């Protein structure tokens, strides 16, 4: 017997919403930020800022994006991969994502925000990630 309050379709929508907020890569960055002493100084997913940055260091006027290599078209092996089916569709979709990322970055810069973009493929080395975050936080 099923006692889920959601229908299967609703349930998967809920799970998607949860996942978009707390995917593995973002958790890694949150952990690294805590390790750099920023635990209480960042906020997640500020919807009032262009592009809804994954992390916002409000007092410092700095934002961090964590981008999936495939979805945001990173210049790496994973980012270069394209599904064989509907290749044109995916290429157009990823190009649109990249364009939107650029527009968000420009809008944030216009508001005086410094931006750090972290790619999924760069997160494996925890020490390197922490060092990068420290540099970003300390930069004026
Ligand atoms: Zn990558």
Q: What is the pLDDT of residues 86-99, one digit of tens each?
A: 889 999 999 999 99
Cα 41 to ligand 1 centroid, rounded to whole Å: 27
Q: Once rounded to an integer, what is the mean pLDDT over residues 119-133?
A: 93
pLDDT of residue 12: 67
Q: What is the pTM of this model?
A: 0.80
Q: How far is CA 67 from CA 8, 26, 64, in A?
A: 29, 9, 10
Range scoring the smallest mean pLDDT among 9-23, 29-43, 72-86, 125-139: 9-23
pLDDT in tens, 59-105: 899 999 999 999 999 999 988 888 888 889 999 999 999 999 999 99
CA distance 63 to 55: 6
Ligand 1 center to residue 114 CA distance, Å? 21
Q: Ligand 1 centroid vs 45 CA: distance in angstroms?
A: 21
Query: What phi and psi values does residue 36 have, to the nearest 5 degrees?
Result: -90, 10
Cα(10) to centroid(ligand 1), Å: 32
* Ligand 1 centroid distance, CA of 5 (Å): 39
């Amino acid at each position: 017997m099923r006692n889920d309050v959601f229908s299967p379709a609703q349930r998967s929508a809920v799970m998607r919403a949860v996942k978009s907020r707390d995917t593995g890569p973002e958790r890694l960055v949150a952990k690294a930020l805590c390790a750099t002493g920023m635990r209480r100084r960042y906020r997640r997913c500020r919807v009032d800022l262009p592009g809804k940055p994954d992390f916002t260091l409000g007092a410092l006027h700095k934002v961090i994006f964590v981008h999936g290599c495939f979805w945001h078209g990173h210049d790496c092996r994973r980012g270069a991969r394209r599904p064989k089916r509907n290749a044109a569709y995916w290429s157009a979709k990823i190009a649109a994502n990249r364009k939107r990322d650029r527009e968000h970055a420009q809008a944030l810069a216009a508001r005086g925000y410094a931006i750090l973009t972290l790619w999924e493929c760069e997160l494996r080395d925890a020490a390197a990630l922490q060092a990068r975050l420290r540099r970003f936080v300390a930069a004026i």
